[in-house]
Amino acid sequence: MRTRPLKVALLGCGVVGSEVARIMTTHADDLTARIGAPVELAGVAVRRPSKVREGIDPALITTDATALLKRGDIDVAIEVIGGIEPARTLITTAFENGISVVSANKALLAQDGAALHAAAETHGLDLYYEAAVAGAIPLVRPMRESLAGDKINRVMGIVNGTTNFILDKMDSTGAGYQEALDEATALGYAEADPTADVEGYDAAAKAAILAGIAFHTRVRLDDVYREGMTEVSAADFASAKRMGCTIKLLAILERAADGQSVTARVHPAMIPLSHPLASVREAYNAVFVEAEAAGRLMFYGPGAGGAPTASAVLGDLVAVCRNKLAQATGPGESAYTQLPVSPMGDVVTRYHISLDVADKPGVLAQVATTFAEHGVSIDTVRQQGKDGEASLVVVTHRAPDAALSGTVEALRKLDTVRGVASIMRVEGE
C-alpha cells in the first residue's frame, strides 16, 4: 500500500461539506483501506473563515479556493459550493491543474455538464457527480455502469424531497398546498424561498442529468419541460383518491417508441396507489428505471441532507482516488447517440380534467365532440350536478400532449364550460 497520502481540497463547507470533512476524519482508516492509500484533507475553501467549524483544523481553512487548487499538491477537489459561479470556474481551474473533481452540483452539471466533461477528458481526469442526483441513492453509477450493457427506455422518479414531503402531507392530512408548505418550512424541509423546489427547477436539473446518462445523449436544462406543483389542490387529491391514485411531482424521461428521439419533463401527475412510487413518503426520493433486458428497477433512499449527500460524495472520492492510483479514469460523458429531444407536445400521456359546466342536456355531448375533434379518446367520464351547476371529470386514453392541450383550449371556448378546474396528467399505468 502507498503511504504518501492523496490530497483533497474541499471547496465549500456547508451542510454537506462539513459532513464530508467529519467522515474523512472519523473514518480515515476505512478510507485508506478501501482506496489503497491514505487520503488527507489538505485544504478547505470557505466564504466565511471566522465561522467555527468543529473537527476541522483551522490551519486548513482558506478563503482563496483558486490558490488552494494551484498550490501543486492537490489530487482531488470536492466541490460542494453549489450554484453556477464560482463553482464552474473553480472546477475548470482544478482540471487545468491536474486535479480530478467530485461534485454535488446539479445546477451546474445540468447547465454546463458537456463543457465540464470535455474539460475533464482533455486533461485525462475524472468528473464524478453521484451526489448531484437523488442524494445518497446510488443512481448515477448504476445507470452509467451497471446498466452500461442494457438499453434504458424510461426513467420515472421522485427526485425532489421537499415537494414530496409537501404532496405526502396534502395526501395524508387533506391539507392545502400553503398549509403543507408552511409545515415543510417549519420542519426545515423547505427553504425560506422554496421556488427552486416547488416550481420544479431542482427536479428539472436532475432530469436533464439523468436523461443524458439514460439515453447516452446530451439533454440541456432548457430541453426539460417543467411545471411546478404550486397549483395542486386538496380537490385534486380528492379526485386522485376516487381514481385509486395519489399525486407526485415526477421527473419522466422517455425514449420515443421509434427510438429516434427522447423526451424529458417534470410535472405533477396522478399515479396509481399500486405503483411503487406511490408509497414513497415524506422527503424520500425514488427512481424507477425501465431497461430492455433488466426490466423494471427501483432505487429508493434519502434524496438530500448533509450525511446522505456526503455518503455519495465519499463513494465518488474513493473511486476517483482509486482511478488516480491506477493512472486511469472512470467513464466520462457518453453522448454518442445524439438523439434529439422532442418538445412536450410530442409526449404521449393521459389527462385527468375537471370541468365546471352548465347543468343542462347536451353538455356532455358537446364536450365529447370536442375531444373527438382533437383525436383524443375518452376513457371515463363522471358527471356530478347540483343547483344548475355541474362538474364533469374526464379521464382520457393516451394521446399526444399537444392534442390534449388543444382539446383543453377548445373546451375553454365552449359557452357551456364555465371553467377548467384542473388538468393533471396520469402516469405509471
SS3 state of residue 429: coil
Residue type, 389: E
Kindly tell me which residue out of 137, 207, 245, 394 binds a copy of itself, with binding defined by CB under 8 A: 137
- From 43-51, 174-182, 237-245, 310-318, span contacting a copy of itself (CB under 8 A): 310-318
The DSSP code for 332 is -
Give the burial string for 83-92 (b: 16+ CB within 10 Å, else e).
eeebbbebbb
Shortest Å distance, C-beta 166 to a copy of itself: 20
CA distance 215 to 225: 17
Pair 304, 313: CB distance under 8 Å = no
Shortest Å distance, C-beta 165 to a copy of itself: 15
Q: What is the chain's Cα-based Rg?
A: 24
80 binds a copy of itself (CB under 8 A): no
Helix or strand (DSSP H, E) at 313: helix 306-325
Active-site entry in 7, 169, 206, 248 = 206
130 binds a copy of itself (CB under 8 A): yes
- From 54-62, 173-181, 261-269, 321-329, span contacting a copy of itself (CB under 8 A): 321-329
342 binds a copy of itself (CB under 8 A): no
Residue 6 zone, left/alpha/beta (φ > 0; ψ -120 to 50; rest): beta
293 binds a copy of itself (CB under 8 A): yes
Give the burial string for 361-375 (b: 16+ CB within 10 Å, else e).
eebeeebeebbeebe
2 binds a copy of itself (CB under 8 A): no
Pair 393, 426: CB distance under 8 Å = no
Shortest Å distance, C-beta 360 to a copy of itself: 46
384 binds a copy of itself (CB under 8 A): no
CA distance 125 to 321: 11
SS3 state of residue 119: helix
Query: Nearest 5°: CA angle at 388, between 384 and 390?
Result: 25
28 binds a copy of itself (CB under 8 A): no
- From 164-172, 319-327, 378-386, 404-412, span contacting a copy of itself (CB under 8 A): 319-327
Kindly tell me which residue out of 308, 347, 349, 395 binds a copy of itself, with binding defined by CB under 8 A: 308
148 binds a copy of itself (CB under 8 A): yes
Please confirm, yes or no, whether 206 is among the known catalytic residues: yes
Neighbours of 29 (CB within 10 A): 9
Is 103 annotated in a binding site? The answer is no
154 binds a copy of itself (CB under 8 A): no
CA distance 84 to 313: 19
- From 56-64, 92-100, 149-157, 375-383, span contacting a copy of itself (CB under 8 A): 149-157
Residue ranges at the known binding site for L-homoserine: 191
Give the interface with a copy of itself as residue ranges (CB under 8 A): 19, 23, 27, 30-31, 33-34, 130, 136-138, 141-142, 145-151, 216, 276, 279, 291-302, 305, 307-308, 310-319, 322-323, 326-329, 331, 334, 336-337
Residue ranges at the known binding site for NADPH: 106
The residues carrying an active-site annotation are: 206
Residue ranges at the known binding site for NADP(+): 11-18
